[in-house]
Chain A
Amino acid sequence: MWSETNYKIRKFKERLFLALTVVAVILAILPLLSILFEVVIRGLPAISIEFLTSPPGVIGQPGGGIANAIQGTFILIALSSLIGVPIGVLAGIYLAEFGNNPFGRVVRFLSDVLMQMPSIVIGIFVYVLVVLALGRFSPIAGAVALSIIMLPIVIKTTEESIRLVPNLLREGAVALGLRRWRVILSIVVPAAKSGVVTGVMLAVARIAGETAPLIMTVLGSQWFPTSLFEPIDALTLRIWRLALLPYEYAQQQAWGAALVLIAMVLTLNVVAKTLSKMGRKVKI
């Protein structure tokens, strides 16, 4: 009967352990549900036409909005994509098509290391490199920092999706007499398009939510920008500044801005993931 009890203990251990994994899942999901719930409940009352269309008012007095912050975030996304996407896609093409050599391996390794680099470190780097050189905070500096954050994400997703393109396509194209660069740009990259687009969207979602590197590059501002060489605002910076103010209205505005930001970022994520799923189905 010894083995009987032993078996019962083992069975009990199994059930205990399976229950613990369920507890872990609940603990992991709980913060997400709470964040979404709080952002919607506390953020919705702040949303109004004025909130979305005007710059911040006088500090300490209710009113004003986040229009310049939204605009700033879009300016930063556009400028960073302009720098980060072409370089990232070209580097990804190199790694996938020609990268089976020591140089390719070094680039791949450093790109993976760069992907995990704390964003505030990249902010400090760009502060020394660009802000000190130009003598001012500017969206240019912010875009350099954010494009460095984008770069490894775009490189990785481009490389992975180009590698999935069947070799038959390349061989067929070469057999028809196309030049190699033509094969890559007109046959291989279009076949890998959905993967590349997904990667770009995920990278954009990532940089839209970045705050730390913006502190030392774009600084933040109360007004609409008039040029690309002055401090501008961004949604994330505005949320941070509003949350630190000791006024009720400011905290409500912070939640409102958080609602706008989270809606943007999650939409980008959901669309990107759906797109990549569809792309996979369509492909051979």
Chain B
Amino acid sequence: MGKGRGGGKVNHSEIFAPRLLRLSSLSFKGDRLFLALTVAAASTVIVIMALLVIKIYEGAAPVFNRFGFGFLTGVDWNPVEGMEAYGALPYLLGTLTTSAIALIVGVPISLGVAIFLAEIAPSSIRAPLSYLIELLAAVPSVIYGLWGVFVFRFWVRDLIEASLSTYLGFIPIFSGTPYGLSILSGGLILAIMIIPTVSAVCKEVLLAVPNTQREAAYSLGATRWEAIRIGVLSYARAGIVGAIILGLGRAVGETMAVTMVIGNAVGQAALPTSLLKAGQTMASLIANEFNEANPVSLHPSALIGVGFILLILALIINVAAQLLIYHVRAKGVVE
């Protein structure tokens, strides 16, 4: 990785450990003490990641022991003592469905924004516009949720769900009464929330594409769109995929906004059979039920178990995204 860092911005100051500061040259007590302190601080990251997996698994162990693999494939959810049943499948599917909607809607918009900012916008509006979109990322999730419940929900109900159910209601996934608190609302609010992340990374990727790519396309007589499509987008493909996976990671773990608009169904009813139905994601289930769970029952453990599945899913997605971005960076496409 060290070799690959560089690119335009850093140039002359591109230094890793300068020769003078090599570890082996630290012969003074104060220096060694300071080094030990920074190593200890850096180690906390490793300790946290290891403990994160171990502790959450420990917390979920009771429910895993009781239900085994059935916890992953079960659909019932009943915390009442004596009739306890915990199955995480509906919420896993809920998370996957809402995230899929988020990507289907959010990625084309993000790409459009990134292309506009990197390739089309004059520099006078590029900076303020990027700034506005960055602010979108700074808005707290719970405020998206508040806006979702009292404003966005009605947009979805009146503009999208009403026509879906009238004209396409005969298709099972569009059946149901438009209510605005649905899997579709959850997915759409996620789409809004991933746009800043995905478009910012895509913009960086596009800006890093060398100008020779564009010039070559123009010299062959390409129009602007053709130059972008052939010269820029295809060259930046790997980086764009990395950005999309990062967006997926964000969508999978997002909690508050989804919790407030998804309608919070539980058990069989939470299976995402129609987009217009109330649903539940893993994160929203945990947020909703955590404070109501009786601490001496299996209920908290079941919620922690759902958290464990979420953790594994997020780990897979994020490790994939990081590896891809490192790979792209090493190729020198992204700084």
Q: Taking CB as reference atom, which chain A residue is nearest B115?
A: A21
Q: How far is the CA of A94 from the CA of B36 in the complex (A)?
A: 10
A2 at the interface (CB under 8 A from B): no
CB-defined contacts of A197 to chain B, threshold 8 Å: none
CB-defined contacts of B150 to chain A, threshold 8 Å: 38, 42, 243, 251
Decide if the interface of chain B is mainly helix, strand, loop or mixed. Answer: helix
B236 at the interface (CB under 8 A from A): no
B296 at the interface (CB under 8 A from A): no
Q: How far is the CA of A114 from the CA of B151 in the complex (A)?
A: 33
Whether B17 contacts A97 by the Cβ 8 Å rule is yes
Please tell me the size bucket of the interface on A: 35 or more
Q: How far is the CA of A269 from the CA of B290 in the complex (A)?
A: 31
Whether B199 contacts A211 by the Cβ 8 Å rule is no
Whether B21 contacts A98 by the Cβ 8 Å rule is yes
Stretch of B24-32, B74-82, B174-182 lying at the A interface? B24-32
CB-defined contacts of B42 to chain A, threshold 8 Å: 90-91, 94-95, 99, 103-104, 107
Q: How far is the CA of A25 from the CA of B195 in the complex (A)?
A: 10
| Choice from B2, B21, B152, B199 contacting A28 with Cβ under 8 Å | B199
CB-defined contacts of B55 to chain A, threshold 8 Å: 125, 128-129
CB-defined contacts of A155 to chain B, threshold 8 Å: 45
CB-defined contacts of A209 to chain B, threshold 8 Å: 138-143
Whether A106 contacts B28 by the Cβ 8 Å rule is no
| Choice from A89, A118, A128 contacting B310 with Cβ under 8 Å | A118
Q: How far is the CA of A18 from the CA of B39 in the complex (A)?
A: 50
With A107-B45, A128-B58, A209-B142 known as contacts, the answer to whether A98 contacts B253 (CB < 8 A) is: no
Please tell me the size bucket of the interface on B: 35 or more
CB-defined contacts of B217 to chain A, threshold 8 Å: none
B65 at the interface (CB under 8 A from A): no
Whether A105 contacts B1 by the Cβ 8 Å rule is yes
Q: Taking CB as reference atom, which chain B residue is nearest A261?
A: B140
CB-defined contacts of B314 to chain A, threshold 8 Å: 116-118, 121
Whether A114 contacts B45 by the Cβ 8 Å rule is yes
Q: How far is the CA of A34 from the CA of B223 in the complex (A)?
A: 36
Give residues 2-27 of B contacting A (CB, 8 Å). Answer: 2, 10, 12-13, 15-18, 20-21, 23, 25-26
A190 at the interface (CB under 8 A from B): no
CB-defined contacts of A174 to chain B, threshold 8 Å: 20
| Choice from A11, A109, A266 contacting B223 with Cβ under 8 Å | A11
4 nearest A-B residue pairs (beta carbon): A118-B253, A24-B112, A209-B140, A90-B41
A-B contact pairs, 9 of them (CB 8 A): A24-B112, A31-B192, A91-B44, A104-B42, A128-B58, A215-B287, A239-B146, A258-B146, A266-B135
Measuring CB to CB, which residues of chain A are less than 8 angstroms from any residue of chain B?
Answer: 10-11, 13-14, 17-18, 20-25, 27-29, 31-32, 34-35, 38-39, 42, 86-91, 93-95, 97-100, 103-114, 116-122, 124-125, 127-129, 132, 148, 151-152, 155, 163-167, 170-171, 174, 179-185, 205-206, 208-212, 215-216, 219, 236, 239-240, 243, 251, 254-255, 258, 261-262, 265-266, 269, 273
Measuring CB to CB, which residues of chain B are less than 8 angstroms from any residue of chain A?
Answer: 1-2, 10, 12-13, 15-18, 20-21, 23, 25-26, 28, 30-31, 33-35, 37-46, 48-49, 51-52, 55-56, 58-59, 108-113, 115-117, 120, 129, 131-136, 138-147, 149-152, 192, 195-196, 199, 223-226, 246, 249-250, 252-256, 260, 283, 286-287, 290-291, 303-304, 307, 310-311, 314-315, 318-319, 321-322, 326
